[in-house]
Amino acid sequence: QVQLVESGGGLVQAGGSLRLSCAASGLALPFGSYVMAWFRQAPGKDREFVSSISWGGGSTYYADSVKGRFTISKDNAKNTVYLQMNSLKPEDTAIYYCAVGSDATATRVSKYYYWGQGTQVTVSS
């Protein structure tokens, strides 16, 4: 079955950096055939789009709240998608999820069909 395993979360001070990874396995097609995305969910809030990357990695999309601070990348040889997060703010605190989809411009949760279990990111002020 499909597995998405996130890692790299943790506790960091405001202004710090973290790099999240998401390793995929069990996909029906080669990893390079899929759009990958990161979402996040803070306590008491809905899950929200953070960033996505096209199947080949040539196109990336970001939520306005993270634009200029976060960078998404994809290593198709390693079946892994990354999220480099710089200049972190307390409002970035959330559980971060990676997801598999087919449209890199999609920002709605319902457009993604496989999800990981999430990794906690906590930014202290």
Q: What is the pLDDT of residues 46-83, one digit of tens each?
A: 999 999 999 998 999 999 999 999 999 999 999 999 99
At residue 107, the pLDDT reads 98
- What would the pLDDT profile of 98-113 be if each residue is shown by its tens digit? 999 999 999 999 999 9
Looking at the chain, the number of H-run helices and the number of E-run strands are: 0, 11
pLDDT confidence of residue 108: 98
- pLDDT tens readout for residues 2-28: 999 999 999 999 999 999 999 999 999
pLDDT given at position 83 = 98
The DSSP code sequence of 4-35 is: EEEE--EEEETT--EEEEEEEE--SS-GGGSE
Q: 37: pLDDT confidence band, cut at 50, 70 and 90?
A: very high
* Whether 58 contacts 103, CB under 8 Å: no
Q: What was the pLDDT predicted at 12?
A: 98
- What is the amino acid identity at position 55? W
